[in-house]
Amino acid sequence: MKVHEYQAKQLLAEFGVPVPRGGVARTAAEAREIAAGLAGKVVIKAQVHAGGRGKAGGIKTVSSPDEAQQAAKRMIGSRLVTHQTSPEGVPVSAVLVEEAIDIERELYLGVVIDNTAGMVVIMASEAGGMDIEEIARTSPDKILKAHIDPALGVHPFRARRLAFDLNLAPAQIRPATEIISNLYKLFEAKDCSLAEVNPLAITCDGRILAVDAKLNFDDNASYRQRAVAELRDTEQEDPLEVDAKSRGIENYVKLDGNIGCIVNGAGLAMAVLDLLKQVGGGAANFLDIGTLNEPDRVVQAFRILTSDPDVKAVLVNIFGGMARVDIIAQGIVAAANQMMIGVPVVVRLAGTNVDQGERILNESGLQLIRAYSMQEAAQKAVEAAKKSS
């Protein structure tokens, strides 16, 4: 789950990472009021779940409350397109109004999970402000890394080492060390999957401030992070994904192909995506119904896929381990009874209770395209999608 910059900054401040003074505005009048309270130059920042705003016109520096109001008026209610969004962009419903900072240097500071190492890694760089992926690609030596054993946490000397390696002034070592430790503490306490400050600014008067902030949270921890879950802004998310979550399907991701896939297990989902590509097709989604033995899961999955106009064929590929194939088959029949499925459906079933599952489908009289291997299923789905589109 992602949150807005202003929400991320509130959390940073709580954990002792300094941020610029400011407030969030949902109307141009509110933006004016906040700007008047701050006095001097202010920055108006579009609040969207995407980076690259600077280059896309989502960040404006202004010199008066009037100008702040005008800038906010232009942004609020518009859609912002950045290199990180879809071509339609994302809606801007709020702006962050902050004191403008005189920046001398822009650093990068990030905390992520290194899956290969099985540890958390703190990354820092003197080449902040820009696209860190670009830096990682072109000059990886400019990124400092400190792997942190989650059982031990961040030892002060590790944070201090990073601060030294960022070539800071002596007076900045202590605050920088604290910022690094505190960002790590926030990451751990709130079950983040990413905590990133870019830029971490060194101001002309020598302070260190988080000028931009991005926090992503591990959805698997949402049950114990109620306060974080309340920060969710579904307006920034894909409507079909939001719908899927509300229907109890956690693992649904919209993709750009035309075959709607219903599978169980993330591994099988990936394999299906690969296979479809291999035979010249493409999945319209990644949808994992999990291993809950509940026919309604299948019905809900069909509901989501049939409401997506990109879906020209549905591929059901189930391997019953813990999941029971007969229950899935019941779900397919129930879906066909409850809704109009206007596209061809390819079904391949294997595993636990497959014979009962086959029987249920055969006796249902449904017009299904049957396949008995993954390869065959993928090929038939691609052909069916071609014919129906």
Residues noted as catalytic: 108, 196
Asked whether the beta carbons of 62 and 35 are under 8 A apart, the reply is yes
Q: Is 288 in the site for ligand GDP (CB under 6 A)?
A: no
Piece of 47-55, 119-127, 151-159, 309-317 that binds ligand GDP (CB under 6 A): 47-55
In this structure, what token pair is assigned to residue 222? 């949402």
Q: Is 53 in the site for ligand GDP (CB under 6 A)?
A: yes
Build a one-symbol-per-residue string for 104-123: x at contacts with ligand GDP by CB under 6 A, - elsewhere.
--x-----------------
Q: CB under 5 to 8 A by kind: which of Mn ion, ligand GDP, none does 101 bind?
A: ligand GDP
Selected binder of ligand GDP within 3, 17, 38, 43 (CB under 6 A): 43
Piece of 52-60, 238-246, 258-266, 352-360 that binds ligand GDP (CB under 6 A): 52-60
Q: CB under 5 to 8 A by kind: which of Mn ion, ligand GDP, none does 290 bind?
A: none
**What phi, psi does 92 have (nearest 5°)?**
-105, 115
**What phi, psi does 37 have (nearest 5°)?**
-70, -30
Q: Is 198 in the site for Mn ion (CB under 5 A)?
A: yes
Alpha carbon distance 305, 282 (integer Å): 14
Piece of 27-35, 145-153, 204-212, 290-298 that binds Mn ion (CB under 5 A): 204-212
Total residues contacting Mn ion by CB under 5 A comes to 2
Q: CB under 5 to 8 A by kind: which of Mn ion, ligand GDP, none does 22 bind?
A: none
| Buried/exposed 56-72: b ≥16 CB within 10 Å, e otherwise | bebbbebeebebbbbbb
Selected binder of ligand GDP within 100, 127, 143, 221 (CB under 6 A): 100
Q: Please classify residue 246 by burial: count the beta carbons closer than 10 Å to its beta carbon, then call 0-12 exposed, 13-18 middle and 19+ buried.
A: exposed
Selected binder of ligand GDP within 16, 23, 37, 52 (CB under 6 A): 52
Asked whether the beta carbons of 377 and 315 are under 8 A apart, the reply is yes
Q: Which is nearer to ligand GDP, 21 or 359 (CB)?
A: 21
Build a one-symbol-per-residue string for 211-250: x at contacts with Mn ion by CB under 5 A, - elsewhere.
-x--------------------------------------
Q: Which is nearer to Mn ion, 1 or 213 (CB)?
A: 213
Selected binder of ligand GDP within 36, 103, 136, 271 (CB under 6 A): 103
Q: CB under 5 to 8 A by kind: which of ligand GDP, Mn ion, none does 100 bind?
A: ligand GDP
- Classified as helix, coil or strand, 220 is helix
- Classified as helix, coil or strand, 60 is strand
Q: Which is nearer to ligand GDP, 34 or 345 (CB)?
A: 34
Closest C-alpha among 233, 229, 194, 231 to residue 214: 194
Number of Cβ within a 10 Å radius of residue 180: 27
Q: Which is nearer to ligand GDP, 32 or 60 (CB)?
A: 60
324 Cβ partners below 8 Å, 6+ apart? 293, 352, 353, 357
Q: Is 18 in the site for ligand GDP (CB under 6 A)?
A: no
For 306, 310, 343, the CA distances from 387, given in Å and listed in that order, are 17, 14, 10
Q: Which is nearer to ligand GDP, 34 or 347 (CB)?
A: 34
Alpha carbon distance 260, 387 (integer Å): 15
Q: Is 51 in the site for ligand GDP (CB under 6 A)?
A: yes
Sheet holding 259-263: strands in order across?
Answer: 251-254, 285-288, 259-263, 313-320, 345-351, 369-370
Total residues contacting ligand GDP by CB under 6 A comes to 15
Cis geometry, peptide bond prior to residue 199 (ω within 30 degrees of 0): yes
In this structure, what token pair is assigned to residue 94? 């709020």
Alpha carbon distance 133, 108 (integer Å): 11
Build a one-symbol-per-residue string for 181-220: x at contacts with ligand GDP by CB under 6 A, - elsewhere.
-----------------xx-----------xx--------
- Classified as helix, coil or strand, 184 is helix
| In the complex, least distance from residue 63 CB atom to Mn ion, rounded to whole angstroms | 22
Q: Which positions touch ligand GDP (CB under 6 A)?
A: 43, 51-54, 59, 100-101, 103, 106, 129, 198-199, 211-212
Q: Which positions touch Mn ion (CB under 5 A)?
A: 198, 212
